[in-house]
Every structure is written in structure tokens, then in C-alpha cells.
A = this chain, B = another copy of it.
Amino acid sequence: MIGRLHNLISILDLTRQDIDLILEHSAKMEQVAIKKSKDLEGKIMACLFFEPSTRTRLSFESAMFRLGGSVLGFADVAVSSAGGKGETLADTIRTVERYADVIVIRHNLDGSARVAAEFSKIPVINAGSGSEEHPTQALLDLYSIKKLKGKIDGISISLCGDLKYGRTVHSLGMALSHYDVTVKLVAPPPLRMKPAVIAEMKEAGLRVTEVDTLEEGLKDVDVVYMTRIQKERFPDVREYDALKGKFRLGLKEVGLMRDDAIILHPLPRVDEIDPEVDSTPQAKYFEQVHSGVVTRMAILKLILG
């Protein structure tokens, strides 16, 4: 990324300077988000959601509208030619690039956003591809940390839950590698982060430890990053039932946290955070939703502005 952002496919494509630039612009967007602007008037964003998503899609749409742009696309592959008529992703992209100024794509296959970017003449933003990458989520997570804790360098963070399949923790882990951060990996044994990923994080200079219990994960950290544990990941449902209660954050567990620690979650949650926790000062996951809008405004502005 020299001068101007073109595609946003993987957190790995960004330098620390790139990330810092995006976070700075996100902070500037706080005011624009309220007052609205016409900076992207006449620009068109195509949302291609091959996999359904409320949050990410609506967040991008809200960001685009606050900058004065327009949105077209599909929320469901069933209503697209790619669904019914067997069109290749390459052909869909080479078609949609004629309709819009930027493509936001979510797809169930790893590498799909990269393929889209290779075929596209217009910028492509990865809104979640397969189980590997969700770079705008990682950027909004970083922005939330910086906004709420005042800094990223020097913080300690626990990544909790499904570290094996969760694409948000993968992207966040890679993003944190640019900073001076202590990371605790908190997962039940079947959902531990893959050794290769841990090795990469350590190589990048992160201080990484692994713990087995949520209790251990909650203590002595600035940020607790919770994720869903999905039933369908377990071959034996009894294994899931045995585990889920142990990775549930309730008021008692919040009591183990530092008073000034914060809880983040990419949402949606199912029952891994008790609703009682929502009213604690540590609960920041709905503020994090707002961070998603300003971060995506910054990304759209940097790409199209």
C-alpha cells in the first residue's frame, strides 16, 4: 500500500504503517459518521454476499451511506447467477466491476477474495472468506482496542473460544503481530489454535502463552476477546456439552477480570456471554459494532476518496 489503498484482501498485505493510517482515519470518521458527508457521492459499492451476514453487510452499507454513496448487490447467493446458473466467480467479478466502483465480497471458500481481486479492475474488499480471513473485522477490533484502551502497544489480550476455525481470531492474531502485545490463547483442547499459526505469531515477536480454562484467560489482561464455540465443530455432542459451560462468561467470571479490562466479541453471540454481563463496565462489544462503521468508512474513503 503506497500512497493509497487499493484492495483489502488479507491483514498480511498491510504494514504497520498501513494499519496505523487506517486507524487514524477511523478516528477522524467518528465525527463524519454523525454529521454524514457527500465525499463518496456518485460512487457505487457492490456487496456480493455468497454467504449470508447481517452485521458485516449492514455495517458496510451504513458506512457507504454515511459517505453519500450508493449500494447494490445480493445478500444471498440463491438470487444470483452464480447460484442458479453455475457462473464462475471470475465471470461474476468481471461483470460486477462494470456496475460499481468497489466490490465487497463474502464467500465461504478460502482464497475467494484473492481470486476476485485478481480478476477485478476495481478495488476488492474481503468481507470474510472461508475460515481464514476477515481483515476488516481485525481492523475494527484493533480500532476498538486503541479507542477504549488508548493504545495497542503494551497491552495484553486473551483470545478465547474457538481458535481453530474462527476466522476473526486468525485475522486479529495476524494484525496484532505488528504490535508489542502479550497474547493468551484460551481454548478447549479440541479448538486450540494450530501450532503453525502460533509459531508465526511467536516469530513475529508476540509473547504467546496457551491456557486451557477461561478462568486463567480472564486474569491479568487488558482485553478479553470472546468468540462463539460452534456445536457443529464437535464430532461428539457430549464433548460439546461438557465444554460449553466452561467457556461461558458470566458475572462471576467478570469478577476475575481487572476493573479496567474490556470484553470484545465479533458477534453474533449465542450463549457464551451471559446477558447479565452486558451492563458491566467491561462489556464493550456493542461499542465495537459502532467501531465497525467508522473503520469501514475509513477503508472506503481511503480506497475511493
Query: Chain A interface (Cβ within 8 Å of chain B)?
Result: 35-36, 41-42, 44, 46, 49, 52-55, 58-59, 61-62, 65-66, 70-76, 78-88, 90-92, 94-96, 98-100, 267-270, 275, 286, 289-290, 292-293
Contact of A52 among B35, B79, B92 (CB under 8 A): B79
- Asked whether A268 and B52 contact (CB < 8 A) given A72-B62, A76-B76, A76-B78, the answer is no
Q: How far is the CA of A75 from the CA of B49 in the complex (A)?
A: 14
- Asked whether A268 and B99 contact (CB < 8 A) given A65-B44, A65-B72, A80-B54, the answer is no
Q: How far is the CA of A53 from the CA of B52 in the complex (A)?
A: 18
Does the CB pair B289–A61 fall under 8 Å? Answer: no
- Asked whether A82 and B62 contact (CB < 8 A) given A36-B42, A98-B290, A293-B98, the answer is no
* Cβ–Cβ < 8 Å partners of A58 in chain B: 46, 72-73, 96, 99
* Cβ–Cβ < 8 Å partners of A70 in chain B: 65
- Asked whether A91 and B267 contact (CB < 8 A) given A58-B96, A286-B98, the answer is yes
Q: How far is the CA of A82 from the CA of B267 in the complex (A)?
A: 11
The smallest C-beta distance from A296 to any residue of chain B, in angstroms, reads 10
- Asked whether A54 and B72 contact (CB < 8 A) given A98-B289, A269-B87, the answer is no
Contact of A81 among B35, B55, B99 (CB under 8 A): B55
Determine how many copies of this chain the complex contains. 3
Does the CB pair B267–A95 fall under 8 Å? Answer: yes
Does the CB pair B78–A52 fall under 8 Å? Answer: yes
* Cβ–Cβ < 8 Å partners of A52 in chain B: 78-81, 83-84
Does the CB pair B54–A66 fall under 8 Å? Answer: no
Does the CB pair A270–B79 fall under 8 Å? Answer: no
The smallest C-beta distance from A89 to any residue of chain B, in angstroms, reads 12
27 contacts between A and B (CB under 8 A): A42-B66, A44-B62, A44-B65, A44-B66, A49-B79, A52-B79, A52-B80, A52-B81, A52-B83, A53-B81, A54-B87, A58-B99, A59-B99, A62-B100, A65-B70, A71-B72, A75-B79, A76-B78, A82-B268, A86-B270, A87-B268, A87-B269, A87-B270, A94-B289, A95-B267, A95-B268, A98-B290
